[in-house]
Amino acid sequence: MDVARTSLPVADAACTDATASYAPDGPLPAPDDLPDGSTMAEIRERGSLVVGVSADTLLMGARNPFTGDVEGFDIDVLHAVSEAIFGDPDRLVLKVITSGERIEVLESDEVDLVARAFTVTCDRWEQIAFSSVYYDAGQKLLVPTDSTATSFDDLDGARVCAPEGTTTLASLDDHPGVVPVPATTHTQCLVLFQQGKVDAITGDDTILAGFARQDPYAKVVGEPLSEEPYGVGVRQDEVDLVRFVNAVLEQVREDGRWQDSYDKWLGDLGEATPPEPTYGREP
Amino acid sequence: MTAPAPPTIEPPAAADPRTAEGPGRGGRTGRLLESLSRTPGQLRVALAVAVLACVLVALVGFRAGTDQSDSVDAARNGADRSVALQEVRADLVTADATAANAFLVGGLEPTAQREDYDTRIEDAAAGLAGLARTGTVEDAGRIGEVSADLTEYTGLVEQARANNRQGFPVGSAYLDSASTLLREEMLPMLDELGDDASARTDARFDDTATALLLLALCLLGLLALVAVQVWLARRTHRVLNVGLATATAIVLITGVLGTALLASVRGTAVDVRSGPYTSATALAAAESAANGAKSSASLGLIKRGSGEEIEVQVDASLDEAFDALSEADASSTASGLADDLQAWSDEHDEIRALDADGEWEAAVAAAVDDAPGASNDLFDQYVSGTEEAIVAEAETVDSELVSAADRAGVGAWGLLIGGLVGAVAAWRGLHQRIEEYR
């Protein structure tokens, strides 16, 4: 009992605010002036920034079949980091991963960064580190255009799809009325939805907006059921890289690049301003 | 012993001491025993034995020959069916590989690939329809399921295309669903059907040996003929009964010829089974496996940069294909095909290296290139070479087994006629003897 009592508050104290990241280490250094021995210098030495992304999440990270490029709001953030390290936004090596693989590709050293609609949580902080929040998404519902449902309460007995290994799927446990249907990827959920095998999809509004754009018979509804603050995933021990990415994000928020990218990809979701970063975490 | 011994040397009656007690027995049995105790009676029995022996040879030989002919026909049908199943499988996997590769190109797929996909699907559907008509009821049920899945499969691929044309990433999820349906539902069902078909074919090939065992019964007939002759020679003190000797000779010669013929049919069946039949099924398996590798290779590129995990599947499928090719080694073309596949595999390794180095665009460009010597061209060479070899082997199986069945048929009729002619000769030979007692 005592052990449990003392250990719980300690864990809480380490992570009272999941969105709090490591503060930038002063202003962003020039690409040719990266600190010696830093993770960034290592990446620059290597010649490319290896990143884990989605290639099928329209608007966030999706392969444009006409150009072959992977593009979206997540990808723009990574281009900004590449620009800061190399002075060239296109030094990215993209590895397409599923949402279930986001943590393991960082832990196994396969990628430097993950930007794939990645919600910052205290649980995940125990395995990896996050940048400051670059977008505040919210979990919503995708339903057929003729549906009147606006929340889980209206979906009693309905089959609701969410991808495996995500907080979204776990969140369905809070709604005993719905039948959770897992799929390998979020896009597979859209396939099941279009085939009539599920009645609704739940997920971040960013992802659902991309689905609605691909399917004129689907709409995104409801107030955000949860807050899904997106951060860039970094390996836990690479605190210098986290600080560096945060400095990049500071710049992106201030010089209008964030707004341009938002308007280009997510403008359908309404007006938005860059989320204020929170810091205060120490390794 | 002074020959020729006149028949009167042995008077028709009272020569046998046993006849003395004969009349006392009375009744039918008595009369039968009594007649058997006299030479003409015994000769009649000998006649019956000799004629029956010849008829036995005729009937057993005919049965053995027709049985073997039927077994060979059944083996041929089974072999055709096994190869046809493998071909349907190969068509489906090739269609899937083509669709996946076309997907890499982007929104507008190349016309040639689209046509190739369509042809493959049509061939597979026609193949399934043919198999459903000719198989067992149970087979037809399972083939019906595969056909229904095929409809769903093509529907998913169409949806993948429609979405892809509009640039919607959900297209790749539809393609993925289609491939999953193929891999997890359709192929296992076809493999099950293929296993059953090849087990049945193997059993039919085994049956071609039982005919020879049946033929061993003819030896009994021959022994009976010889025994009758020996008995007759002792009883009549004549060395040779021409009719019986002719019968024995005819039975012996047709028996030897028939056995040789049926043995050669059996030999052909054994050779076909281990040669062109094994090669045809192995080649078709090699075609399927290689296409599986190509599908996985395309899927690996679609997954961009995460293809290493799928690479395991590519390697496993390639190993399977090379193994199958070495099984088909009997045919001289197989080693050439292995070289063709190796050429594609080498090219694929380079493409993988490009993707691993972050040169995804270059990797895709190389993977969809069908210029001479490029990835798709190398693969097409392998596939068309394999298909030509399968057709050639299947034709050999067919023609060899058709001629073997014909030979078994000739053997059957030869043994029947030989046996019956022998029976007539034996009857004439002994009948003549019996007549001498009248």
Reported as a single tens digit per residue, the pLDDT across A85-115 is: 999 999 999 888 887 889 999 999 999 999 9
**A106 & A147 share domain:** no
Q: Which of B107, B174, B302 sits opposite A191 (nearest CB)?
A: B174
Pair (A57, A37) in one structural domain: yes
Of A212, A227, A242, the last residue of a domain is: A227
More confident residue, B39 or A240: A240
Distance CA B356, CA B332 (A): 37
- Tell me the chain B residues in contact with residue A188 when contact means C-beta distances shorter than 8 Å: 173, 176-177
- Do A144 and A185 lie in one domain? The reply is yes
pTM here is 0.76
Average pLDDT over every residue of B390-417: 92
Q: What is the average per-residue pLDDT within A168-194? A: 89
Task: Name A100's bridge partners.
Answer: none
Contacts of A58 in chain B (CB under 8 A): 168-169
- Bridge-based pairing state of the strands A227-230 and A135-144: antiparallel
Is A239 within a domain? yes
Is A113 part of a structural domain of the chain?
Answer: yes
Residue of A nearest to B365 (CA): A68
CB distance A84 to A244 below 8 Å:
yes
Contact between chains at A191 and B360 (C-beta distance less than 8 A)? no
pLDDT recorded at residue B420: 93
Distance from the Cα of A78 to chain B's closest Cα (Å) equals 15
Domain assignment present for residue A274? The answer is: no
**Do A74 and A130 belong to one domain?**
yes
A45 and A116, same domain (yes or no): yes
| Range scoring the smallest mean pLDDT among A155-159, B28-32, B255-259 | B28-32
Instruction: Answer yes or no: is A161 within a domain.
Output: yes
**How many interface pairs between A and B have CB atoms less than 8 angstroms apart?**
72
Best mutation target, A191, A194, A213, A215, to test chain B (most B CBs within 10 A): A191
Secondary structure class of B169 (helix, strand, coil) = coil
Min Cα–Cα distance to chain B from A80, Å: 18
| C-alpha A81, offset from chain centre | 15
pLDDT digit string, tens, across residues A38-64:
999 999 999 999 999 988 788 999 888
What is the residue whose two structure tokens read 């009758």? B228
How large is the ipTM? 0.73
Reported as a single tens digit per residue, the pLDDT across A124-138 is: 999 999 999 999 998
Residue A278 domain-assigned (yes or no): no
Identify whether residues A246 and A258 lie together within a single domain: yes
Neighbouring residues of A20: CB distance < 8 A, sequence distance ≥ 6: A278, A279, A280, A281
CA of B156: which chain A residue's CA is closest? A191
Residues in B lying within 8 Å of A, measured between beta carbons: 106-107, 159, 163-164, 166-174, 176-177, 302-306, 358, 360-361, 364
Separation in Å, CA of A262 to nearest CA in chain B: 20
Return the higher-pLDDT residue of B402 and A5.
B402
Residues in chain A with CB shorter than 8 Å from the CB of B171 are: 65
Cis before B11? omega within 30: no
CB contacts, 8 Å: B163 with chain A: 214
CATH number at residue A159: 3.40.190.10
pLDDT-derived band at A11 (thresholds 50, 70, 90) equals very low
Residue A150, in any domain of the structure: yes
C-alpha to C-alpha distances, A250 to A32, A113, A230, B142, nearest whole angstrom: 20, 17, 15, 62
Specify whether the CB–CB gap between B58 and B163 falls below 8 A. Answer: no
Q: How confident is the model at residue A222 (pLDDT cuts 50, 70, 90)?
A: confident
pLDDT at B305: 61
The arithmetic mean of pLDDT across residues A171-191, rounded, is: 89
For residue A7, what pLDDT is reported? 35
B107 contact residues in A (CB cutoff 8 A):
65-66
Residue A276 resides in a domain: no
Looking at residue B409, what is its pLDDT?
Answer: 92
Q: How far apart are CA B300 and CA B383, in angstroms?
A: 21
What's residue B43's pLDDT?
Answer: 83
Q: What is the pLDDT of residue A263?
A: 93
- Tell if the CB–CB gap between A191 and B170 is shorter than 8 Å: yes
**For the segment B262-295, what is each residue's pLDDT rounded down to a tens digit?**
899 999 999 999 888 988 888 888 998 999 899 8
Asked if A224 and A249 count as a contact pair (C-beta separation under 8 A), the reply is: no
How many structural domains are present in chain A? 2
Chain A residues near any Cβ of chain B (below 8 Å): 48, 50, 55-58, 62-66, 68, 70, 93-97, 101, 185, 187-188, 190-191, 194, 210-211, 214-215
Question: Based on the number of CB atoms within 10 Å of its own CB, is A152 exposed (0-12), middle (13-18) or buried (19 or more)?
Answer: buried
Read off the pLDDT of residues B6-39 as tens digits, 9 standing for 90 and up: 444 444 444 444 444 444 455 777 777 777 777 7
Alpha helix positions (H), B166-241? 170-181, 187-236
To the nearest whole angstrom, how far is the Cα of B165 from the nearest Cα of chain A?
8
What is the per-residue pLDDT for A9? 36
Contact A194 B170 (CB under 8 A): yes
Chain A nearest C-alpha distance from B154 (Å): 14
What does each C-alpha distance from B49 to A165, A170, B231 come to in angstroms? Answer: 86, 89, 12
Question: Measured between CA atoms, how close is B265 to chain A, in angstroms?
Answer: 56
**pLDDT at residue A167 in the model:** 74
pLDDT tens digits, one per residue of B198-221? 899 999 898 888 877 877 888 888
What is the average pLDDT score of chain B? 85
Cβ-nearest to A68 among B106, B176, B306: B106
The label of the residue with tokens 């009937």 reads B59
pLDDT tens for each residue of B52-102: 989 988 999 899 999 999 999 999 999 989 889 988 998 999 999 888 888
Higher pLDDT, B357 or A22: A22
Question: What is the number of residues in chain A?
Answer: 283
Provide, rounded to the nearest whole percent, the portion of chain B with pLDDT above 70. Answer: 90
CB contact under 8 A, A94 and B360: yes
Kindly compute the dihedral angle of the four CA atoms of residues B282, B284, B285, B288, in this order, to the nearest 10 degrees.
160
Q: Do B167 and A64 touch (CB under 8 A)?
A: yes
Q: What is the pLDDT of residues B136-160, one digit of tens each?
A: 888 889 999 999 999 999 999 999 9
Q: Give the number of other Cβ atoms within 10 Å of residue A236's Cβ.
A: 16
Backbone phi, psi, residue A29, to 5°: -70, 155
- Separation between Cα atoms, residue B69 and residue B410, nearest integer Å: 9
Beta carbons of B174 and A93 less than 8 Å apart: no
- Do residues A191 and A61 both lie within one domain? no
Summarize chain B as % helix, strand, coil (round to 5): 90, 0, 10
Residues A33 and A99 in one domain: yes
The answer to whether residues A115 and A205 belong to one domain is no
Domain that holds residue A201: 137-227
Residue A68 reports pLDDT greater than 80: no
Share of chain B above pLDDT 90, in %: 34
Concatenated DSSP letters of B333-388: HHHHHHHHHHHHHHHHHHHHHHHHTT-HHHHHHHHT--STTSHHHHHHHHHHHHHH
Q: For residue B429, how many other CB atoms are within 10 A of its CB? A: 24
Asked if A118 and A7 count as a contact pair (C-beta separation under 8 A), the reply is: no
Q: How many CB atoms lie within 10 A of CB B325?
A: 31
A8, A110: one domain: yes
Predicted confidence band of residue B299 (pLDDT cuts 50, 70, 90): confident
Among the partner-chain residues A48, A68, A214, the one whose CB lies closest to the CB of B163 is: A214
Does any domain span residue A280? no
* pLDDT of residue A32 exceeding 70: yes
List the structure tokens of B128: 């399934």
Report the alpha-carbon distance of residue A258 to residue A252 in Å, rounded: 5
Most confident of A125-134, B192-201, B349-358, B391-400: A125-134
On whether both A43 and A61 belong to a single domain, the answer is yes
Q: Which residues of A touch B306 (CB under 8 A)?
A: 95-97, 101
**Mean pLDDT, residues B397-426:** 92
Residues A107 and A158 in one domain: no
Residue B406 parent element (H or E)? helix B375-435
Structural tokens at position A38: 């830093």
**Helix B39-105 and helix B170-181, axial crossing angle in degrees, nearest 10:** 170
Select the residue from B156, B176, B303, B304 to test the A interface by mutation, using most A Cβ atoms within 10 A. B304
Q: In this complex, do B169 and A194 lie within 8 Å of one another by their Cβ atoms? A: no
Taking an 8 Å cut-off on Cβ atoms, the answer to whether B169 and A55 are in contact is yes
- B394 contact partners, CB below 8 Å, separation of at least 6: B79, B80, B83, B276, B280
DSSP one-letter string for chain A = -HHHHHHHHHHHHHTS-TT-BPPP-SSPPPGGGPPTT-HHHHHHHHT-EEEEE-SEETTTEEE-TTT--EESHHHHHHHHHHHHHHS-TT-EEEEE--GGGHHHHHHTTS-SEE-SS-B--HHHHTTEEE---SEEEEEEEEEETT----SGGGGTT-EEEEETTSHHHHHGGG-TTSEEEEESSHHHHHHHHHTTS-SEEEEEHHHHHHHHHH-TTEEEESS-SSEEEE--EEETT-HHHHHHHHHHHHHHHHSSHHHHHHHHHHGGG----PPPP-B----
